[in-house]
Amino acid sequence: MRQAMLALMSELSAKDEQLRDKADEIARAHREAAFKQNLIDKLTHEMAVLKRLKFAATSEKFRSGLSAEQTSLLEETLDGDIAEVTGEIERATGNNKGKDKKDKEQPKRQPLPAHLPRREMRHEPESTVCSCGCQMKRIGQDVSEKLDYEPGVFTVEHHVRGKWACANCEKLVQAPVAPHIIDKGIPTAGLLAQVLVAKFLDHLPLYRQEHIFQRAGMAIARSTLAQWVGECGAQLQPLVDALEAELLRHDVLHADETPVAMLKPGNKKTHKAYIWSYCTTSFNSTKAVVFNFAETRSGENVRRFLGQDSDTPWKGTLVTDGYSGYNATIAKGVTAANCMAHARRKFHELWANHGSKVGEQALRYFQLLFKIEAKLGPLPPDERRRIRKRKSRRVAALLYKWLLLQRQQVPPGSATIKAIDYSLKRWPALTRYIEDGDVPISNNWVENQIRPIALGRGNWLFAGSLRAGKRAAAIMSLVHSARINGHDPYAYLKDVLERLPTHPASRIDDLLPHRWQPEFATH
């Protein structure tokens, strides 16, 4: 009797455990459903706002305050944003609910021009022998065309998918449709890569690309190009997230920021936004740069990027130009290393603009420090640190004493004392590199990554939304990381866009620029 009671109690306990597990599973499913619904509601609201802005942008009243270039760039931005949000809604809902009735009623796509060269690409099943043993017969085919582009020349990929049927058991076999980054779209990965590289690396806004394509024999509306950019931005985001995660695995990073003008469609005025740049050092074998777009220069942007308020905040050494906005990260455990080149620049301005003797003498000290550093690049970190402590520390100590002496001899408020104080106030961070062989002497490496951004400001000069700025920063992260790794950015993006639709999410890191190998080299 006792054993039966114990068995019954054990069975009841197991049932209770199963019920608790089931309740937890149901609660988790409810939370996930609520989260997904909140995301869908947020995206749906954003879509409504974007469509209102697009409608407003066509009115004469709205356009009257903008130049033709501003209007064109704003329209490109809105079309790209709408395409990106549509894709996100489709993925969140698992179907095509992101497309409204108006989208479905659009006229059928026009055939690609007959005068363009065509390459026929046949897709047939691996076997045309039916499972019942009969030889199948070809009963027809499906044909589709995609627009490809090589610089200056459009061609058409003419895809033919034969249909095979078994006369005995009526089984139908056909090669599957190859997945593409834009489902059922006409552009190949090569054409999409060309548009992205031209816009985000070669500084060609879409309205200029529209004219270039027209001269090559194919008229593609800039609104269509903008939709392609928006859809590609959404599809490439997981790869950019992986690049950011890879960057934050390293203990020494550069950081810098540069202003870009951003148009607020509501008031038709521009305000100063910023592109923040983070990258590994030139000493690091992993070459990676990540751009982050923000509407302000607040140090909160840096804290957010470094995950300072998360459970696993980044706590390495951050090499910067000494801007006070980075100080917020120091309180959270980040080690500050400032740029010696910025300190030198202050004295160079004194010498170049005013013939200052103090500036000239300071430059001699800085020259010695950089001369020592020029020979240390190929050495391992420990050897680099040993030589710095033996040579650079001595020169830095002499410079520090000299700066203290000069400060007592120059009048307060002068440009000279401002240059001296800039170095003295930052001295521990300026000389941090002497104690750490992985830390560079200057922030020049990241400044060189930002320099191409300044050339392309016209591409995002009047970004109409935070989303558009973030999309530009994300794609620039990939093309510039490919560039500094010695890859042709076009070849890299084309290959990634071809592979991404079928690439396992668990192996997304294989497609990062510093790990990427062309697909033909992996077989």
CB atoms within 10 A of CB 335: 17
Mean pLDDT within 380-397: 96
Lowest mean pLDDT: which of 110-124, 332-346, 490-504? 110-124
The answer as to whether 274 is a domain residue is no
Contact of 474 with 237, CB cutoff 8 Å? yes
pLDDT band at 104 (very low <50, low <70, confident <90, very high): very low
Q: Quick one: DSSP state of residue 389?
A: I
Compute how many other C-beta atoms are within 10 angstroms of the C-beta atom of residue 400. 16
Report the distance separating Cα 351 and Cα 441, nearest Å.
22
DSSP state of 158: E
User: Which stretch of 66-80, 182-196, 372-386, 470-484 has the lowest confidence by average pLDDT?
Assistant: 66-80
Together in a domain, 47 and 116: no
Kindly state whether residue 136 falls inside one of the protein's structural domains.
yes
What's the domain range around 367?
Answer: 351-442
By mean pLDDT, which of 73-82, 260-269, 458-467, 474-483 is the weakest?
458-467
Look up tokens 């449709």; give the residue. Answer: 177
As a whole-number percent, the residues of the chain with pLDDT over 70 amount to 85
CB 481 within 8 A of CB 288: yes
Do 373 and 423 sit in the same domain of this protein?
Answer: yes
The tokens 């033919």 sit on which residue? Answer: 160
- Secondary structure percentages of the chain, helix, strand, coil, to 5: 55, 15, 30
**Confidence tier at 523 by pLDDT (50, 70, 90):** very low
**Is 40 in the same domain as 118?**
no
pLDDT at 138 over 50: yes
Residue 326 has pLDDT above 70, yes or no: yes
Q: Is residue 30 part of a domain?
A: yes
The count of domains in the chain is 3
Find the mean pLDDT for residues 379-394. 96
Give residue 330's identity as a one-letter amino acid code: I
Which tens digits make up the pLDDT trace of 339-353?
999 999 999 999 988
pLDDT higher than threshold 90 for residue 217: no
Is the Cβ–Cβ distance between 206 and 224 less than 8 Å? no
Percent of the chain scored above 90 by pLDDT?
46
pLDDT at residue number 353? 86
Would you say residue 139 lies in a domain?
A: yes
pLDDT at 420 over 80: yes
Q: CB–CB of 129/171 below 8 Å?
A: no
Q: Tens digit of pLDDT for each residue in 146-158?
A: 888 877 788 999 9
Domain boundary among 104, 126, 146: 104
Give CA–CA dist 253/449, Å, rounded. 13
DSSP code string of 86-114: HHHHHHHHTSSTTS-HHHHTSPPPPPPPT
Compute φ and ψ for 259, nearest 5 degrees.
-80, 150
Same domain, 84 and 115: no
Same domain (yes/no): 387, 414: yes
275 close to 258: Cβ distance less than 8 angstroms: yes
Domain boundary (423, 442, 461) is at 442
Q: Which of 38-42, 93-97, 364-368 has the lowest mean pLDDT?
A: 93-97
Instruction: Give the three-class secondary structure for 145.
Output: strand
Find, among 337, 245, 256, the residue nearest to 291 by Cα: 256
Is residue 392 within 8 Å of 434, Cβ to Cβ?
yes
Give the C-alpha separation, 69 to 72, whole Å: 5
Whether the Cβ atoms of residue 484 and residue 229 lie closer than 8 Å to each other: no
Q: Are residues 371 and 434 in the same domain?
A: yes
pLDDT at 26: 80
How many C-beta atoms surround the C-beta of residue 424 within 10 A?
15
Question: Considering only CA atoms, which of 279, 272, 299 is closest in space to residue 450?
Answer: 279
Q: Which pTM does this prediction carry?
A: 0.78
Q: Is 523 contained in some domain?
A: no
Question: Residues 129, 84: one domain?
Answer: no
Span of 189-198, 237-246, 268-277, 485-494 with lowest mean pLDDT: 268-277
Q: Which of 442, 477, 510 delimits the end of a domain?
A: 442
Q: Cα(178)–Cα(492) distance, rounded to whole angstroms?
A: 20
Q: Which residues contact 452 (CB under 8 A, 6 or more apart)?
A: 201, 480
